[in-house]
Amino acid sequence: MGNDGGSIPTRRELVKEAARNPTTTEIKQSQQEQEAHHWSTCPLSNKPLSRPIVSDCNGKLYNKDAVLEYLLPADDDDPNAAVRKVEQNEKVLRGSIKSLRDVVEVKFEEDKDDAGKERKTDDGREIWVCPITRVPVGPGSKAVYLVPCGHAFRGSAIKEAGGDCVCLQCNTAYETRDVIPIIPTSEEDITKLDERHKSLQANGLTHSLKKAPGGKKRKKGTDAANGSEEKASDSSGSKEKKKKSEPKASDGIKNSATASLTAKVLAEQEEKNKRRKLTNNDNLNSLFISKDPAKVPANKSNDFMSRGFDIPANAKR
């Protein structure tokens, strides 16, 4: 325990500096680093943000393919997949995304030079600008996007537009509450987004202003009566029809980009399942030497390349 000849150091000698609270400059620096990370990285996949990019009711940015992969059902062969999704929902999403209706695709304007070529940062990322002011949009800038069209602007450009609640790019009408700040940092913006989310939920709407699942009302009058009779008459063959007309995950998606991304994610999962099944194939594994010596038969100590042909002992010559 001694340093030199049995001396024992005291706490005063070991602890040279006492614990202190971070200064205002250090707090601002950490906030700027965190904001820059959110502007460049998808929190679901931890990959760089790339088009198409979507946002939830809290103003966070995600890669659309990562959201689609999250919304797909968990793989039955991987028991930890469902646990990972629950952890992502609690830590990252916090219950804000349950379907594609809970996100809006954000349309950023790319910065281009006089020749029409896209300008990029040193690490190869796109540079986004406000289509009205041509000022860069990113960390440190108060940027917003509109619901439902998704066009992104500088917050100052929307304020200068005045009371005309019409998108400056596509002329789509919007309400004042549907101006969503991107990566909000102030408590005021976070509180407004929370109040908007609760108001939409009370009206049966999602972040994209579409109806929430299960919010359809029953038909009144004769339509309801006719519908109940049809359900009763078709109850016997409903199971067979469901099996025949069971849609795939990519069916019914009107947006071509979303449909292609869904098909891509499904193809990747199918390829992973095929590889997993091949590794667990007993017939294929029997051709090779097992790593466990207890499982190797006495007459099959080699693999199929050097095993050769064995003549049975009771064979007639």
pTM of the model as a whole? 0.64
Nearest-5° angle of CA 69, CA 182, CA 31?
100
- SS3 assignment, position 45: coil
Measured N-to-C along each axis, helices 64-71 and 256-279 cross at an angle, to the nearest 10 degrees, of 60
Q: Which pLDDT belongs to residue 92?
A: 85
Beta strands in the chain (DSSP E): 53-55, 61-63, 104-106, 109-110, 128-129, 136-137, 143-146, 152-154, 179-181
Q: Looking at residue 267, what is its pLDDT?
A: 82
Residue 52: cis peptide before it, omega within 30 degrees of 0: yes
Domains, in order of start, for the chain = 30-202 (3.30.40.10)
- C-alpha to C-alpha distance for 59 and 183, rounded to whole angstroms: 5
Number of Cβ within 10 Å of residue 8's Cβ equals 8
Burial-class residue 305 by CB neighbours within 10 Å (0-12, 13-18, 19+): exposed
- Per-residue pLDDT at 41: 94
Banded model confidence at residue 102, pLDDT cuts 50, 70, 90: very high
Report d(CA 76, CA 269) in Å as an integer.
Answer: 12
What mean pLDDT do residues 187-204 have?
A: 94
Mean pLDDT of 203-208: 94
* Conformational region of residue 209, where left means phi above 0, alpha means psi within -120 to 50, and beta covers everything else: left
Q: What is the pLDDT of residue 293?
A: 58
- CA 287/CA 271 separation, integer angstroms: 23
- Which residues in 157-187 are b (16+ Cβ under 10 Å) and which e? bbeeeeeeeebbeeeeebeeebbbbbbbeee
Q: Between residues 104 and 90, which one has the greater pLDDT?
A: 104
Residues 242-268, mean pLDDT to the nearest whole number: 62
Q: Work out the average pLDDT over 131-153.
A: 92
Task: Find how far residue 47's CA is from the centre of its chain.
Answer: 10
pLDDT band at 5 (very low <50, low <70, confident <90, very high): low
Matching residue, tokens 């909000």? 184
Q: What is the pLDDT of residues 209-228, one digit of tens each?
A: 999 887 655 444 444 444 45
Q: Looking at residue 207, what is its pLDDT?
A: 95
List, for residues 104-137, the tens digit of each pLDDT value: 999 999 988 878 788 888 777 889 999 999 999 9
pLDDT band at 161, cuts 50/70/90?
Answer: confident
Distance CA 131, CA 144 (A): 12
CA dist., res. 232 & res. 249, Å (int)? 29
Task: Report whether pLDDT(87) > 80.
Answer: no
Q: Which residue has the tokens 């614990």?
A: 19
Q: What is the pLDDT of residue 58?
A: 94
Model confidence pLDDT, tens digit, residues 164-185: 789 989 999 999 999 999 999 8
State the DSSP string of 167-210.
-TTT--B--GGGEEESS--SHHHHHHHHHHHHHHHHTTB-TTSP
Q: Provide the pLDDT confidence category of residue 246 given band limits of 50, 70 and 90.
A: very low
> pLDDT digit string (tens) for 17-54?
767 788 888 888 888 899 999 999 999 889 999 999 99
